[in-house]
Amino acid sequence: MQQKWYNATEVEASSLNAGTIFYMETIEVSRLSALAFFAAGEESYKGQRYFWQNREKTLTLVGLGHAHIIENNLSNMRFDQVEEQWKQLTKNIVTEEKLQPILFGGFTFDPENTTAGEWSGFPESYFTVATYQLMIRNDKAYVSIHLITDGENAAPQFEELRKQRDHLIHAAQVKEVKTYVKPQITSYSEPHKEAYLQSIDAVTAKIKAQEADKVVIARSLALRFEDAVSSPQILSHVVNEQPESYLFGVERGDMLFFGASPERLVKVENGRAHSSCIAGSIKRGAAADEDQALGESLLQDNKNRGEHHYVVEMITETFEKNCTAVRVPQQPKLLKIRDIQHLYTPVEGQLATGATILQLVKDLHPTPALGGVPREGSMKIIREFEAMNRGLYAAPIGWLDADGNGEFAVAIRSAALLGNSAYLYAGGGIVADSEAQSEYEETLVKFRPMLRALGGAVHE
């Protein structure tokens, strides 16, 4: 095994608990499959894993086990609390190699939603520092061990962790890369379909009566399988079939929440902040000329341009508050992914002094691509009309380091897997001229990526 030793870092995290120490050690390993590393944790770390890959495929992260959890059930203070705890934990970190521990997780869509269901008991903020963190960046692979302890016997504990690390790396490098079959679906249902169709009419009427400008209404699709579906099995299909998206999976207990989202909420790299406005949709054409004609019609369509405009306006305002030198193109472009094309406007700026990635997440979430305009009013309408709890669907999911860098996607085109059941989520922006049937069809297109990964029939 090709390995290079970096310095083991000791971090005094005294304010957590007197004597708490954050030990970290990173080695470089010869390239290995991120999915195989994830799968190597099947026995010992099931329920405590995550997977992340950015759109450009320049960063892949896998976490196995929990060295530390930061979670809370706060409402608007939840972002600040995560930020504060992460700061405390990484206060004195010094690493020569610029390799840092990563905090990975997400904030639920709406802490005020009390609807019971598959998300019951899930914290409103859920972040973890992995015991074993794989990072593949610039074609190099690094495995870090994190140990956060106030115990006396850290040295023997760390020795044990090294053994287990070597075992995981070996398994990921040596075992044949598995090919997984697709799950066998035994039942498919669209719960609350009628209620959804009615809600679109009702919400459109509210918008016409000027009670709101835009509201994103979502629904779910429920699947049952012959057998329990495993996380590596499902992630392998997501990874292989959705090349142009953020790919993510987060396990907590019995649940795997996963997806392939085209939408960046925010990325911060060396003080530069980027977001994307993605709203307004049309299907892909069967042939290139039809596809192009559909794209052209999307660019010209007033209803979709309206949906898009609210998002650009709000993200631009938020950037002007938190950044300098904000750049926003005048006109949207097309973003084409496997099943759908969207209107797309990138936004970027230079982070102002004192602004942080979590501050931006707090201010941006939910953008009108997921919530609506005005923010509070649309959230009330969502709570009133959606017969579900979104959990992490449409919510910020991603990572940050201790240097202020990080990236969050909006967790759309996603699903929750629980043993032999899965719940897929999709929604769309409702504006004054929305029509229930075409919004319904838009959600069907948005279900397709996860439905395909889960073994459902998708007519190409």
Ligand X SMILES: C=C(O[C@H]1C=CC=C(C(=O)O)[C@@H]1O)C(=O)O
Provide the binding-site residues for Mg ion, judged by CB under 5 A. 281, 428-429
> Does 391 participate in binding ligand X (rule CB under 6 A)?
no
Candidates 26, 204, 281, 378; binder of ligand X (CB under 6 A) is 281
Candidates 14-22, 133-141, 274-282, 316-324; binding stretch for ligand X (CB under 6 A): 274-282
Candidates 63, 295, 332, 427; binder of ligand X (CB under 6 A) is 427
Rounded to whole angstroms, the Cα distance separating 408 from 357 reads: 9
Q: Compare residues 223 and 279 and give the one whose CB is closer to ligand X.
A: 279
> Does 299 participate in binding ligand X (rule CB under 6 A)?
no
> Does 134 participate in binding ligand X (rule CB under 6 A)?
no
Active site residue 214: yes
- The partner in contact with residue 342, picked from Mg ion, ligand X, none with C-beta cut-offs of 5 to 8 angstroms by kind, is ligand X
Q: Smallest gap, in angstroms, from Cβ of residue 428 to ligand X? A: 3
- The partner in contact with residue 369, picked from Mg ion, ligand X, none with C-beta cut-offs of 5 to 8 angstroms by kind, is ligand X
> Does 307 participate in binding ligand X (rule CB under 6 A)?
yes
Instruction: Give me the catalytic one of 214, 267, 362, 446.
Output: 214
> Does 216 participate in binding ligand X (rule CB under 6 A)?
yes
Candidates 370, 382, 417, 450; binder of ligand X (CB under 6 A) is 370
- The partner in contact with residue 238, picked from ligand X, Mg ion, none with C-beta cut-offs of 5 to 8 angstroms by kind, is none
Q: Smallest gap, in angstroms, from Cβ of residue 78 to ligand X? A: 22
Instruction: Give me the catalytic one of 25, 71, 124, 263.
Output: 263
> Does 448 participate in binding ligand X (rule CB under 6 A)?
no
Q: Smallest gap, in angstroms, from Cβ of residue 15 to ligand X? A: 39
Q: How many amino acids of this chain bind ligand X (CB under 6 A)?
A: 19
Q: Smallest gap, in angstroms, from Cβ of residue 204 to ligand X? A: 14
* The two structure tokens encoding residue 172: 């990921």
- The partner in contact with residue 388, picked from ligand X, Mg ion, none with C-beta cut-offs of 5 to 8 angstroms by kind, is none
Q: What is the 3-state secondary structure (H, E, C) of the chain?
A: CCCEECCCEEEECCCCCCCCEEEEEEEEECCCCHHHHHHHCCCCCCCCEEEEECCCCCEEEEEEEEEEEEEECCCCCHHHHHHHHHHHHCCCCCCCCCCCCCEEEEECCCCCCCCCCCCCCCCCEEEEEEEEEEEEECCEEEEEEEEEECCCCHHHHHHHHHHHHHHHHHHHHHCCCCCCCCCCEEEEECCCHHHHHHHHHHHHHHHHCCCCCEEEEEEEEEEEECCCCCHHHHHHHHHHHCCCCEEEEEEECCEEEEEEECCEEEEEECCEEEEEEEEEEEECCCCHHHHHHHHHHHHHCHHHHHHHHHHHHHHHHHHHHHEEEEECCCCCEEEECCCEEEEEEEEEEEECCCCCHHHHHHHHCCCCCCCEECHHHHHHHHHHHCCCCCCCCCCEEEEECCCCCEEEEECCCEEEEECCEEEEEEEEEECCCCCHHHHHHHHHHHHHHHHHHCCCCCCC
Q: Smallest gap, in angstroms, from Cβ of residue 342 to ligand X? A: 5
Q: Compare residues 101 and 280 and give the one whose CB is closer to ligand X.
A: 280
> Does 280 participate in binding ligand X (rule CB under 6 A)?
yes
Q: Smallest gap, in angstroms, from Cβ of residue 394 to ligand X? A: 6
- Report the sign of the C-alpha dihedral through residues 321, 85, 165, 230, in that order: negative
> Does 429 participate in binding ligand X (rule CB under 6 A)?
yes
> Does 219 participate in binding ligand X (rule CB under 6 A)?
no
Residues 156-215 that bind ligand X (CB under 6 A): none
Residues that bind ligand X (CB under 6 A): 216, 218, 263, 278-281, 307, 342, 369-370, 394, 412-413, 426-429, 446
Catalytic residues: 214, 263
